[in-house]
Amino acid sequence: MNQFKNILIKGVQIKRLNVFVLFFVMALTISVLAKFSDRVTQTLSLELVPVQLNPTELITDSQPQFMDVTVETDGYDMLKYAFQHLTYKIDVTTLDKSNSTYTWTADLKDFKGSDFFDESFEIIALSPKVVRFNYDTQSQKRVPVTVVARTQFSVGYDMLNPLTSRPDSITIVGAKTSLDTIDRISTLNIEMTAVKSDINQSVELRIPPNLKPSSNVVQVFGTVEKFTEGKLNVPVSVVNLPEGFTVSIFPKEIPVVYYTNLRTYDSITATDFKVVCDFNNFNIDSKVLVPTLASHPKSIKNASLEINKLEFVMTKKND
């Protein structure tokens, strides 16, 4: 009996609580609706979007322009604007124009006479009242593509020629003042390790802001081959010797160390290199001749001389 009584009491308490919560929610709802029916003042931020530009012109501002518009209206009407990104289009053909700027001097009547706000809105204030849009003549330019890469090859592998791109140049469209400062477009950095096969991959281009490229991506290529080192003794030639003198040098041949691919290694001979000592570059205080590698085959990636100083004996010819 007591158990039944307790259950009945709890049921009555829960019912009373539910009734209280219901009346509280109804009262809160009525209060909120009443507030919405009141007049409210709010400042709205409008993004200003220039339209009707000449086809040869473009806006060069790095950031969009905004205007704060303070308005008064019913709470219900304000809800339509409070939670959305607002944009206001401005016909630039109606603005003051200079060689590089469109200037809009805003007035309350610009908004009162437009369809942007409902009739219930009262426009109270604008900030800023003067807005300037920078513009420039639109132009285009063809520029080469530079591949930016850091490549680490597996031991015994390398490339004879640098990486290339396809296309090797692109067209960029933008403000003439911006294009005048650009002479090439580079790829994003490419990092490659343990490379031992041909390279063929798509790479994005690093496009400066406010420019439109004919392509955002290029294909990068590279031929990877097996490489080896070789050494040949190459005779030294003396050039620009002063008239009336003879010279003897020691040694008469210099070892040239070179790095090339296996494909052309066997075809390379000492006659493909030219080592010279130029007396026009002779420093009398040094008392030695400095040889230089004047030429080497195109199939060589790099080459160096094992000896960089030569002794010499210079004698005057007998008349």
Per-residue pLDDT of 166-203, as tens digits, reads 999 999 999 888 899 999 999 999 999 999 999 999 99
Mean pLDDT of 92-111: 88
CA gap 205, 190 in Å, rounded: 11
CATH code given to domain 138-223? 2.170.120.40
For the chain, give every domain's residue range. 1-37, 41-128, 138-223, 227-316
Count of C-beta atoms within a 10 Å radius of residue 65: 19
CA gap 221, 163 in Å, rounded: 6
Per-residue pLDDT of 130-152, as tens digits, reads 999 999 988 999 999 999 999 99
Q: Rounded to the nearest 10 degrees, how much is the dihedral formed by the CA atoms of 9, 11, 16, 22?
A: 170
CATH number for 227-316 (one of 3.90.1170.40, 3.10.20.810, 3.40.462.20, 2.170.120.30): it is 2.170.120.30
Q: Does residue 11 surpass a pLDDT of 80?
A: no
Distances (CA, A) of 21 to 26, 28, 273: 9, 10, 99
Are both 138-223 and 227-316 of the same fold?
yes
Q: Does residue 37 surpass a pLDDT of 60?
A: no
pLDDT at 108: 81
